[in-house]
Amino acid sequence: MNAVTAIDRPVKLDRLRGFVTAFADLLAATRDEGAILQSGAALLTRLIAKDDWLPDAFARPNPDRYQQYLLHCDSRERFSVVSFVWGPGQSTPIHDHKVWGLVGVLRGVEKIERFRRLPTGGLVNEGEEYLYEGEVDAVSPRIGDIHRVTNGRADAPSVSIHVYGANIGAVERATYALDGAPKSFISGYANSVIPNLWDRSKSL
């Protein structure tokens, strides 16, 4: 991917740049997952408190399926930052992540259904909850890693910002049937360009 700026309206990319730098500092300071999720959630909450920094190119829904846009990937693939965009009524399959992750809603609402594996291997739905603008959720194999996410708005897109403990578009993961049968997938990314966070020649 070319690290070029794709901007349709003036945005404050310095917010995303500051978030990426702070998250890299966090991972340099600790490998403890609990500390990463706690401190990382505070960083992500601060980022999504303002909706003036995400370029339009990375917030566009697709009429056929939800979109996952790469915003940044750490040079050592310790973490990645992506935007997820759901059109009205769109949903993920039941899926896992294999790594820790943080999800913060920037626009709209997400419905989250969490699943638990039974001793028989099947999955049971443990209920649903809604994540609203400004709220952050966490996942990991340690605390719960299998869920399904649906746009909580029937008439407009929803956008969330996700941070994962790997280059998530390259991680081999799985979707699941309710009987627990897995199907491997690697998600990749929907975009062909990423925001240029490092050009300080312009006031962004």
pLDDT digits (tens, 9 = 90+) for 68-87: 999 999 999 999 999 999 99
Is 72 among the annotated ligand-binding positions?
no
* Beta sheet of 80-86, edge-to-edge order: 67-73, 80-86, 158-164, 101-107, 136-139
Q: In this model, does residue 203 exceed pLDDT 80?
A: no
pLDDT band at 202 (very low <50, low <70, confident <90, very high): low
Structure confidence at residue 8 (pLDDT): 53
pTM score? 0.93
What are the residue ranges spanned by the domains of the chain? 13-185
Structure confidence at residue 6 (pLDDT): 44
**Which residues neighbour 62 within 8 Å (Cβ) at sequence distance 6 or greater?**
85, 87, 190
Task: Classify domain 13-185 by CATH architecture.
Answer: Sandwich (2.60)
Structure confidence at residue 28 (pLDDT): 97
- State pLDDT tens for residues 163-176: 999 999 999 999 99
- State pLDDT tens for residues 133-147: 999 999 999 999 999
Q: In this model, does residue 20 exceed pLDDT 70?
A: yes
Structure confidence at residue 10 (pLDDT): 65
**Which residues share a beta bridge with 117?**
123
Q: What is the mean pLDDT of the chain?
A: 93
> Which token pair is 22?
């702070």
pLDDT band at 9 (very low <50, low <70, confident <90, very high): low
Segment 34-59 mean pLDDT: 97
Residues 98 and 114: their CA atoms lie apart, in Å, by 15
Is 162 among the annotated ligand-binding positions?
no
